[in-house]
A and B are shown apart, each in its own frame.
Chain A
Amino acid sequence: MSYRELHKKEIEQLESQGCSAPDWKAVQVMEPFHPERIKDVSFSGTVRLGVFDAKVAFAGGMEVKSGIYSSRVHNSTIGDNSLVSTVGYLANYEVAGNVVIDSVGMLYVEGKTNFGNGVEIDVLNEGGGRGLKIFDRLSSQTAYLSVLYRHDNKLQKKLSDMIDRYVSEQTSEKGTISEGCSILNSNRIRNVNFGPYATVQGASVLDEGTVGSCKDDPVTIGDGVIARHFIVLSGSKVDGSVILDKCFVGQGVKLGKQYSAENSAFFANCEGFHGEACSLFAGPYTVTHHKSTLMIAGLFSFYNAGSGTNQSNHMYKLGPLHQGILERGSKTGSFSYMLWPCRIGAFTAVIGKHYTNFDTSDLPFSYISEEEGKSVLTPAMNLLTVGTRRDSSKWPNRDRRQDPDKLDLIHFNLYSPYTVAKMVRGRNILLELKEKANKELEFVTYKGIAIRRLMLKTCAKYYDLGIRIFIGNCLSDYIEKLTNGSKLKGFIDSLVRIKEKANDEWVDMAGLLMTRKAMEDLVHTISSGEVTDLEKLGQKLKSLYDDYTENELAYCLKLIEQTYGISIESISRDNLIQIVSDWKANCVKLNNMILKDATKEYDQSAMIGFGIDGDEETKTRDFQAVRGTYENDKFVKSLQGDSRDIEKSATDIIEKIKNMN
């Protein structure tokens, strides 16, 4: 690729076409140069032009010849077959090939910039103290360490150094607009880098940022967007007059419909419409779609916000210190309110307004409701609902990320050692509370929240059901993978070996599930300097992600010993058959209970308002025309199929166990 100076005749032609330059020697071109494709352009500084010999197609079918028209270009390179048209001011950019920049007010780089990399945003605590340095390789896992492990100064220093080194590599006085980008009908863009195939259409202001797009998964920035100090990564769509200030938008995120956010980070597959976010750590699959929804100073993941959901940290006296944690899979109902600080256990539904501070992290799959001003917890209820099962199966299918380089590592499992260890603790807590409870009392209190005394035994039973299902799931998966004719002794020996790794304590590192021990080791490898850069950190995290299945089985084996009172070293063929039979019975029982929950979607109360002017028969027919029937419901059919599959699978596995030599 070599550039040359313009010939005298070319300069004359350009000037006759309304072009000007204070020094034509600073304008260099590449062969073959077509001066007829440069019209009404003011050049300044050093400008390099590629070859313009193709056409650019616009929506609606119009084709325009690549080239530069009616624009001012300063100190920039324009790549082959790009089109720059009606641009008020394009300065200090390396524009790659096949880029379209049309009807843009100002697009420029001013001074040295990091393009949004290294900007520190105050997530979780508005007042600071948990500042997260954002950059265009940030994963939810790195953010988790950075934001939540503030007690470890050494770790923070090493992490910060790694990030600073990466950020310094991004510093430049020139911006990049990569291959295939389209920047159309936008107002003012300053100090922003654009990855391949990004589309910006109708943006209002983009200031100090990176649009980390890629060909497999382009980014779209749409109408009216105002974004300052930001990172937006591949596959994300930000449009509908969204306002972002100091925000990180990870991969496959959708923000639109006038959503506004500040000091917030949104990781893989988050969705934000209409509402507001402030100091939010939105882990993977945090979703808020409705108006009047303010999410503030909280850590969320696999979360769905009902309309008007609100939290507050306003009852402070020394500043907005308080924070909230909703563990994975939680939901908040319409106009629910929580007073921070609060910690909500995994897969819990929060309904109503709550003015006390509670911690339900050891009581997952619960309902938290408001009864006459009192916050009431019903443990384990969410194990039995259609919604929980449906959510858990829909998340993997809704992973929008097409980028082959996925930054956030996500385990989707509903029953995992993380949730099951909580169920074990939950069951023990409930049974202990039951033992101690005064039978005259309607409620007992646990960590700030009321639980109906009557439900203690029942809910402990539901946790036990979940625990046994998890055990059966893991063991069955492992046995299913064994070849026919495996030897029983060899099989048990392998279980004993795997059990060695068992660990009771698990953590959810913003989507990545791992043992607490593995987390401690990870922190040590960073603090000790073994992991020296972000790439190595990414590799380490990926290896922890890959370890999940074996660690899950190890935990399951330990749980077998605790739950069934059987030592793995001496487990017998009959014991194994008993566990699998137990699994089958419990799975079918749970599915039947969930199916019963689903019947409510089709009963008389669900039909209220249907058949508006008719009788009961009209009501039923109208309902069936709109909603269908229980028997034909896709979810119902799949759950019924699941029960059949489990029964068949259990029979096959038991046969396999019987055939072990």
Chain B
Amino acid sequence: MERSEVETKVKGVIARVLKINEAEISSDANFIFDLGADSMQSMQLVAAFEEEFDVEMEEDKALDVQSVAAAVDFIKSLVDERN
């Protein structure tokens, strides 16, 4: 899967879980400070990414991911690994 495709899907998941407009999500946005994700929403994002990309994430590593761009990289590496 191309990085751009991963990014589009990641933004779609973020918009759905955080109930925000997809167009407002920039690649360098921080989940907590810019997008207002709380602890529970962070967990929901991890679960939603797992379902969307059919991957398993180590929660402690996944929660280290702070920005949209980092999430895209992290997920792409898992998808590549799976493939």
State whether A454 and B39 are in contact (beta carbons under 8 Å apart), knowing that A589-B60, A604-B33 are contacts in the complex. Answer: no
Closest chain B residue, CB of each to CB of A367: B40
A609 to chain B, nearest CB (A): 16
**B47 contacts A381, C-beta separation under 8 Å:** no
For the complex, give the distance between the alpha carbons of A597 and B32 in Å. 12
Indicate with 1 or 0, residue by residue over A424-457, a CB within 8 angstroms of chain B CB atoms.
0000000000000000000000000000101101
| Selected contact of A455 from candidates B32, B33, B43, B60, CB within 8 Å | B43
For the complex, give the distance between the alpha carbons of A454 and B52 in Å. 10
State whether A378 and B40 are in contact (beta carbons under 8 Å apart), knowing that A454-B48, A458-B46, A458-B50 are contacts in the complex. Answer: yes
For the complex, give the distance between the alpha carbons of A216 and B26 in Å. 65
A30 within 8 A of B: no
B40 to chain A, nearest CB (A): 6
**B60 contacts A600, C-beta separation under 8 Å:** no
A28 within 8 A of B: no
Within 8 A of B (CB), among A594-614: 596-597, 600, 603-605
A593 within 8 A of B: yes
For the complex, give the distance between the alpha carbons of A604 and B34 in Å. 11
**A458 contacts B32, C-beta separation under 8 Å:** no
State whether A593 and B63 are in contact (beta carbons under 8 Å apart), knowing that A454-B47, A454-B48, A457-B50 are contacts in the complex. Answer: yes
B24 within 8 A of A: no
State whether A593 and B59 are in contact (beta carbons under 8 Å apart), knowing that A454-B48, A457-B47, A458-B47 are contacts in the complex. Answer: yes
For the complex, give the distance between the alpha carbons of A597 and B44 in Å. 15
Within 8 A of A (CB), among B1-39: 32-33, 39
For the complex, give the distance between the alpha carbons of A120 and B43 in Å. 48
B49 to chain A, nearest CB (A): 10
B73 within 8 A of A: no
**B44 contacts A455, C-beta separation under 8 Å:** yes
From A378, A458, A461, name the one whose CB has the most chain B CB atoms within 10 angstroms.
Answer: A458
B75 to chain A, nearest CB (A): 16
**A597 contacts B39, C-beta separation under 8 Å:** yes
| A589 / chain B contacts, CB cutoff of 8 Å | 58-60
| A367 / chain B contacts, CB cutoff of 8 Å | 40
State whether A381 and B59 are in contact (beta carbons under 8 Å apart), knowing that A457-B47, A458-B46 are contacts in the complex. Answer: no
A17 within 8 A of B: no
B33 to chain A, nearest CB (A): 6
For the complex, give the distance between the alpha carbons of A381 and B32 in Å. 18
For the complex, give the distance between the alpha carbons of A57 and B83 in Å. 85
Closest chain B residue, CB of each to CB of A595: B60
For the complex, give the distance between the alpha carbons of A457 and B44 in Å. 11
**B60 contacts A596, C-beta separation under 8 Å:** yes
B64 within 8 A of A: yes
| B58 / chain A contacts, CB cutoff of 8 Å | 589
| A603 / chain B contacts, CB cutoff of 8 Å | 32
Closest chain B residue, CB of each to CB of A369: B40
A592 within 8 A of B: yes
A4 to chain B, nearest CB (A): 78
| A454 / chain B contacts, CB cutoff of 8 Å | 44, 47-48, 51
| A596 / chain B contacts, CB cutoff of 8 Å | 60, 63-64
Closest chain B residue, CB of each to CB of A604: B33
For the complex, give the distance between the alpha carbons of A82 and B16 in Å. 76
Within 8 A of B (CB), among A379-395: 381, 385
B22 to chain A, nearest CB (A): 18
Can you report 7 residue pairs joining A to B where beta carbons are below 8 Å apart?
Answer: A454-B47, A455-B43, A458-B47, A458-B50, A589-B59, A604-B33, A605-B32
Top 5 A-B pairs ranked by shortest CB distance?
A: A458-B47, A454-B47, A592-B60, A593-B60, A596-B63
Q: Enumerate chain B interface residues (CB-CB to A < 8 A).
A: 32-33, 39-40, 43-44, 46-48, 50-51, 58-60, 63-64
Task: Please name 10 further chain A to chain B contacts, defined as beta carbons within 8 Å, in addition to the given A458-B50, A589-B60, A596-B60, sorted by A numbering.
Answer: A385-B39, A452-B47, A454-B47, A454-B51, A455-B47, A457-B47, A458-B59, A461-B59, A597-B39, A604-B33
